[in-house]
Chains A and B, each alone.
Chain A
Amino acid sequence: MSRLTDSNLAIAREIISRYPRKKSALIPLLHLTQEQNGYVTDEAMRHLAELLDITPAEVIGTATFYEMFKFEPVGTYVINVCQTLSCALLGAGNLMHHAEAKLGIKSGSTTEDGMFTLEAAECQAACTEAPTLQVNYRHRYRVTTDDFDQLVDDLRSGALSGEIPPHGTLGRNRQHIPADKFVGAPDPDDVTEGPAWIPVKVEST
């Protein structure tokens, strides 16, 4: 099952309605489908193409540009270890070696039980708290090798399941715009006048 479910379809329709042109909703919808299935499937991309009136080729063209979209199954927990300068200065290389040994896999692969995918990542905007890693894009700061072991144990035992949702879930909540408050997103071609609060300038001739 990789087309959007009925409840996700309703969410997708709400997201699409917020943009003046449908295709703008493509990246948010790719996230939505990844949240549903854990990764982006071919069938899901065809469904998104239908929803947005574009071709499946356009969907995959955009999707493959962005690193967060996965096109084959990944672990429930994707662990990204930062390797850029600030983290490298404070032991990111060592942390990565330790992570590979602890999980028994090389960076870029997934454990056999499907629990963990380990990836080398670039700057995660937590440079003052180096070395850092993210689990499903949730930060962990100043990670020692002991911290890493503890983290893996906690993830395996389910102790962090409330804090860290499975891979694909971007936020545990969503923006919702109430219909009576929504100003609307008309196609720019249909708009000719300035917004109501801008005083109309009288042209001096």
Chain B
Amino acid sequence: MSTAITREYTPGFYEGDRPKIVTSRFEYEDSHTLERFEATGGYEGLKAALAMGPEAMAGEVKASTLLGRGGAGFPAGVKWGFTPQGVWPRYLVVNGDESEPGTYKDRLLMERDPHQLIEGCLIACYAAGLSQCFLYVRGEMALAHERIAQALNDAYAAGYVGKNILGSDFGVDIVLHWGAGAYVVGEETALIESLEGERGMPRLKPPYFPAAVGLYGQPTIVNNVETLANLPFIAANGSAAFTAIGTETSPGTRMVAISGHVKRPGVYEIVNGSTTFRDIIYGDEFCQGIRDGNELKAFVPGGGSAPWFVADQLDIPFEGKEAGAAGSMLGSGAVMVMDHTTDIPEAALTLVRFYAHESCGKCVPCREGGTWLLRIVERICSGHGTDADLDQLLEVGQSICPGEMPHAASERLGLAAVPFPYKMTTICFVGPSAYASIHSPLTLFRDEFEAKVVPAPKRVSIPVAAG
């Protein structure tokens, strides 16, 4: 078996002695096979969980303070605790609908190490008493479907999934479910609607957590792929080994995809909480700086929804609270880097277009506002915008996110940061994301927008003839 790291096969670089929790097998070309998985400690976490019992296992997850890796960063163990006592059956829904712009980690975890995810699902089901698991994979990820289908078939045959797992009284089915192309389905209640065969529109809240009322109205845990992929390590090595990595508020590691104008774009597993953006973008073991020795102009720190950062924020660590105080968020762990050659309004346009396109149409501020924002930005970029359009953008945005909008500080503009979060008039974050992805560039680079617009024509009324 070859252990070569091929760039075509495994985007990202996994050499170096950084601690690895979820990418430990990525260096092997056959990391997706049951043979490789079993040979490298696979299903040991499941065995450890079965040995310690469901309550102790749930306790370990809670003690690990594993934060959800989907975007909101909610502690997984606490989320599990929201299931009401004595209500059965309970379900596990795995959110593999990764489609946030810039985000590229769940697909790798599903393609490169499907058994690790399956093991994570089993541990979650065992610890939280979940009687069936639905693995919802984004429709556009054909290779992930093939790899997971094969892995599940092998795992069923080997007795890891299905009835009487490893001879115990623990039995659970994992069903591979196919999405069909809708970003909003990544929102957990929309994911559940979609899994019920409906249009993938987020549910009205309250109830706030599917853990109380979810799939078919039953208690349902919705966890992200990366979150679950951490469970085998926690089960096999204990929560202390997990919290020994990273910081107190953000333990463990995180997968971060860094794309755009860097020398070595890739998906890296970084130590959570302490690694700074400067380390990630300029560090030798990561991206090694901006292409062609160019200047950094701006970067999106946490997926397309996140307000932008500039060079002033490079020394902020990759930690949720610190990023929030600086006016943005870490979201799904995706950094998109832009060098000084970037046309900021054009770059912002691609993100506004994304969110306007992906609005499900349920909430008016998002459905109408997103499209309106898109039209204005398109008008500005094609040279037909006026200076009144710039304020119009902010005015439309106020109907989606009333009040002050978070943004980063800028020394160049003498601007102080406005911390996260924002207020919103919509059920989910698609609408606010459309606004955040134009508000922040417009605030930090208003001069570039102004250079593209002409003064609004002065309107005069027609004089009324006397007499």
A residues near B, CB below 8 A?
A: 18-21, 23-28, 30-31, 52, 54, 61-62, 65-69, 80, 83-86, 88-90, 122-130, 134, 136-139, 141, 170-178, 180-186, 188, 191-199, 201
Give every chain A residue within 8 A of B153 (Cβ-Cβ). 173, 175-176
Nearest B residue (CB) for A197: B170
In B52-106, which residues have CB < 8 Å from any A CB? 53-55, 85-86, 88-89, 98-104, 106
Which residues of chain B come closer than 8 Å to A25, judged between CB atoms? Answer: 197
Q: In the assembled complex, which residues on chain A have CB atoms less than 8 Å from the CB atom of B161? A: 181
Known: A127-B334, A181-B156. A19 touches B200 (CB 8 A): no
Q: Is B156 within 8 A of A177, CB to CB?
A: yes
- Out of B180, B216, B261, B354, which one reaches A30, CB within 8 Å? B180
B173 touches A18 (CB 8 A): yes
- The residues in B between 322 and 360 inclusive whose CB is less than 8 angstroms from any CB of A are 334, 336, 338, 342, 346-347, 350-351, 353-354, 357-358, 360
In contact, A86 and B145 (Cβ under 8 angstroms): no
Decide: B11 and A129 in contact? CB cutoff 8 A: yes
A sample of 18 inter-chain contacts (CB < 8 A) reads A23-B198, A68-B181, A83-B350, A85-B260, A85-B336, A86-B336, A88-B347, A89-B259, A122-B99, A125-B103, A125-B106, A126-B11, A134-B140, A137-B141, A188-B217, A191-B89, A196-B171, A198-B54
User: Are the CB atoms of A123 and B175 closer together than 8 Å?
Assistant: no
Taking a contact as CB atoms under 8 Å apart, the answer to whether B168 and A128 are in contact is: no
A31 adjacent to B180 (CB under 8 Å)? yes
CB distance from A161 to the nearest CB of B (A): 15
Question: Is B112 close to A, CB under 8 A?
Answer: no
Q: Interface on chain A toward B: helix, strand, loop, or mixed SS?
A: loop
Q: B182 interface residue, CB < 8 Å from A?
A: yes
State whether B350 touches A62 (Cβ < 8 A): no
CB distance from A97 to the nearest CB of B (A): 15
Report which of B85, B132, B336 forms a contact with A185, defined as CB distance below 8 A: B132
A130–B85 CA distance with the chains assembled, in angstroms: 48
Q: Evaluate contact between B182 and A85: CB separation under 8 angstroms.
A: no
Are B139 and A125 neighbours in the complex by a CB distance under 8 Å? no
Nearest-CB residue, chain B, relative to A52: B197
Q: Give the residues in chain B near A85, CB-CB below 8 Å.
A: 101-102, 260, 300, 304, 336, 347, 350-351, 354
A183:B132 contact, CB within 8 angstroms: yes
Tell me whether A66 and B162 are in contact in the complex, defined as CB-CB below 8 angstroms, given that A23-B196, A128-B267, A181-B156 are known contacts. Answer: no
Which residues of the partner chain A approach B200 to less than 8 Å between Cβ atoms?
Answer: 65-66
Q: Which B residues are in CB contact (< 8 Å) with A141?
A: 8, 11
Tell whether B435 is near chain A: CB-to-CB under 8 Å: no
How many whole Å from B259's CB to the nearest CB in chain A? 4
Nearest to B155 among chain A residues (CB) is: A181
Would B152 and A89 count as touching, CB distance under 8 A?
Answer: no
| Residue picked from A69, A89, A123, A183, most chain B C-beta under 10 Å | A123
Residues of B within 8 A of A (CB): 8, 11-12, 53-55, 85-86, 88-89, 98-104, 106-107, 126, 129-132, 138-143, 145-146, 148-150, 152-153, 156-157, 159, 161-163, 168-173, 175-183, 194-200, 216-218, 257-261, 265-267, 300, 304, 334, 336, 338, 342, 346-347, 350-351, 353-354, 357-358, 360
The interface residues of chain A lying within 8 Å CB-to-CB of B126 are 197
* CB atoms of A68 and B139 under 8 A apart: yes
- What is the bound-complex CA distance between A179 and B336, given in angstroms? 47
Query: CA A152 – CA B179 in complex, angstroms?
Result: 27
Chain B residues lying within 8 Å of A185, measured Cβ to Cβ, are 132, 173, 175
* Contact present for B139 and A197 (CB under 8 Å): no
Q: A123-B304, A128-B11 are in contact. Are A31 and B139 (CB under 8 A)?
A: yes
B residues near A127, Cβ cutoff 8 Å? 101-104, 257, 259-260, 265, 334, 336
Contacts of B346 in A (CB 8 A): 88
Interchain CB contact under 8 A, A183 and B182: no
On whether the beta carbons of A128 and B265 are closer than 8 Å, the reply is yes
